Amino acid sequence: MSGWRAGLVGIAVGGVILATGWFLSRSNGEPGSTAGTASPGAVVEVDESIVLACAHVLIPACDSAAEILGVASQRWRPGDPLPEEGVLVAPAAELPAGSDSPIEVAASPIVLSGWRTRWQLLERECGAVDPGCLARLLGSSWSSLGGSDSWGDVKLGLADPTRSESGLLAWATLAPELGAEGLAGALRLSSTDDATLMAELVQFGDSRADVVITTEVAVIGQFRNAIDRGDGRLELAYPAAGPWATYAAVGNGRGADDLIQRLLSEEIAARWTAVGLRPVGGLVGQAAEGMGEAGERSAGPDQTTREELTSVWEDFT
């Protein structure tokens, strides 16, 4: 067994885890966009000079929180600076260098998801679809699993682990079971981040990928949009244990500390639960459609393993 795979197995054992337009969130997330309309009868004055900036996959949660907080919302991209006045919420590993004392505000488990009809065939083979069984079946012909010849082989979608933290955590979940050769035989859809991956999965239906590994919040964000695409519905499975994407907040300028504390409130937690994001204190109120019981949260890969994971990916690509 090669060194990188042995290291990954150690992690796994120790942790034991159309056009894109309207398929993205209702907000385009561009700078200057603001939160949605408040409840009928409510008057919310929006301070456009204070910004709640969020990573791509968090735009629905960002808009919902900004509506309550009375601030503007906008999309943040890796490499962008902190807002001059306001708060940034993004994967902890992607925050700008030198970000001062980030505070975890939410998280999302890495999940497996796929189109229902094909998923049912995977369940027949696996019992419960997990990374090990999925890795064994990736690249197999669907006809050998009882599906149609026209479906081709079992196709995988992943976000690029060299460009996003969500992609790296998803690849870390599967790599100990799959390896580079398996990746080469199965990967048919690769995107810059988890939100883009899910938007493209829905955009192209089941022609590009049958199953993806990504964050729960990204899957839930496209859950309703998947209706009448592919075979009409997405299914999810949670590894018994695995890494979770961690989202942290950092602030800049006046009132930033207070804004971060308000992000930890029960009112915000309920809004985030409703769009498929898990607040740091746990789910509050009605969970979004499609959300299930997550597995145990385990530590993500250490720096050495991260470098090995990206090296294997770069060799493949």
Task: Provide the CA 175 distance to its chain's centre, in angstroms.
Answer: 17
pLDDT at 26: 31
Handedness of CA 292, 21, 267, 277 (dihedral sign): positive
Per-residue pLDDT tens digits for 17-54:
333 332 333 333 343 343 333 443 444 576 778 999 99
Q: How far, in Å, CA of 260 to CA of 284, rounded?
A: 18
Q: Is the pLDDT of residue 231 over 80?
A: no
* Domains defined for the chain, CATH in brackets: 3-17+108-242+295-316 (3.40.190.10), 22-104+246-279 (3.40.190)
Q: DSSP letter for 141, please.
A: B
pLDDT at 25: 34
Q: How far, in Å, CA of 236 to CA of 184, rounded?
A: 24
Q: Which helix (H) or strand (E) holds 190?
A: strand 187-191
Q: How far, in Å, CA of 296 to CA of 283, rounded?
A: 15
Per-residue pLDDT tens digits for 274-301:
999 999 999 999 999 999 999 999 988 9
Which pTM was predicted?
Answer: 0.85
- Which residue, among 214, 244, 313, 242, has the nearest Cα to 4 in the 3D structure? 313
> In the chain, pLDDT over 90 holds for what percent of residues?
72
pLDDT at 219: 97
Question: What does residue 110 show for φ and ψ, rounded to 5 degrees?
Answer: -80, 130
